Amino acid sequence: MKKVRKVNKEKRKQARKKLKSDTNMFLDHPKKCCACDLEFVRNHETVKTWHVTVVDKRVRLTCPDCWGKITEALENIE
């Protein structure tokens, strides 16, 4: 019984660490589009329309215009 509790406690501890790490990545997100360097101005509209991508602990911010071009290019490849 004690072993199960210890394992569960360690799992909770690891989950908290991961959540803290992931949250910090989003707080330190880029301030410009990764493709065209358009400035990200935080407001209701941009928060809803810009895209955030996380790959290998790298956060990328993409404006709607560039995101459309990227998805179009990927569709053409397929």
Do 29 and 60 meet the contact criterion of CB atoms below 8 Å apart?
no
Q: Which residue has the higher pLDDT, 19 or 65?
A: 65
What is the reported pLDDT for 9? 92
Contacts (Cβ under 8 Å, ≥6 apart) of 4: none
Q: What is the pTM of this model?
A: 0.63
Amino acid sitting at position 78 = E
1: confidence class by pLDDT, cuts 50, 70, 90: low
Domain tally, the chain: 1
Q: Is pLDDT at 19 greater than 70 in this prediction? A: yes
Model confidence over 20-60: pLDDT tens digits? 887 777 677 788 999 999 999 889 998 899 998 888 878 88
Residue 33 burial (C-beta neighbours within 10 Å; 0-12, 13-18, 19+)? buried
What is the span of the domain harbouring residue 30?
2-77
Q: Is pLDDT at 68 greater than 70 in this prediction? A: yes
